[in-house]
Amino acid sequence: MRVKQENRRLETEGIDPVSSTSFFKDIDRLGEISQTTINEAVDSLGNLGLGDSVRGTLNDGTTIEGTASPIDYTPTEHLRVEVESVDDSSLRYELLSHYKSGKWEPIRVRRYRTGDDDWIPRGVIAEIHASG
């Protein structure tokens, strides 16, 4: 189902995922995440409440899971959600995106563990599931 949806999206952008020679190069270059996917992820995260569940997959395949706290979301401006790990209370993730030039940037993820000096970049969100 998801592959069919992605193929339809690509076709609306004028890309034939079967015969396009640059298609796989573009996927590798960005770990390609469609703007539609980014927008849906931002909307989903922006609608979270404190303590809601978040599970995401990064572009490298890493999975993060936890509860949302705190949430800072201003539509058409910025999104910042901290996710407390469900498995390790000393571990937090920061999900961050800004709205620039009429679109949301990919959602960047950083990790912080108690005792670290600073947040450590981990990648970008490729898929997100959020529920209240």
Q: How many residues does the chain have?
A: 132
62 and 80 belong to one structural domain:
yes
Within this chain, do residues 82 and 106 fall inside the same structural domain, yes or no? Answer: yes
Mark whether 6 and 59 lie in a shared domain: no
Task: Provide the pLDDT for residue 30.
Answer: 45
Contacts 24+ apart (CB under 8 A), 92-99: 92/66, 93/64, 93/66, 93/122, 94/119, 95/45, 95/54, 95/56, 95/125, 97/38, 97/42, 99/75
- What pLDDT, on a 0 to 100 scale, did the predictor assign at position 132? 75
pLDDT in tens, the chain (132 residues): 444 555 565 566 555 545 444 444 333 344 568 999 999 999 999 999 999 999 999 999 999 999 999 999 999 999 999 999 999 999 999 999 999 999 999 999 999 999 999 999 999 999 999 987
Domain that holds residue 118: 33-131
Domain identity same for 22 and 43 = no
Q: What is the largest CA-CA distance in the chain?
A: 50
Integer angstrom CA distances of residue 93 from 2, 20, 100 = 26, 36, 23
- pLDDT given for residue 1 in this prediction: 44
- Do 25 and 39 belong to one domain? no
Statement to judge: residues 39 and 87 lie in one domain: yes
Domain shared by 70 and 107, yes or no: yes
The answer to whether residues 92 and 84 touch, using CB atoms and an 8 Å cutoff, is yes
Strand 91-100 relative to strand 103-104: parallel, antiparallel, unpaired?
A: antiparallel
Residues 7 and 60 in one domain: no
Amino acid at 38: I
Q: Does residue 49 sit in the same domain as residue 91?
A: yes
Q: How many domains does the chain have?
A: 2
Same domain as 23, residue 40: no
Claim to verify: residue 22 and residue 39 sit in the same structural domain: no
Backbone angles phi, psi at 42, to 5 degrees: -60, -45
pLDDT at 33: 84
DSSP class of 89: T
Residues 26 and 84 in one domain: no
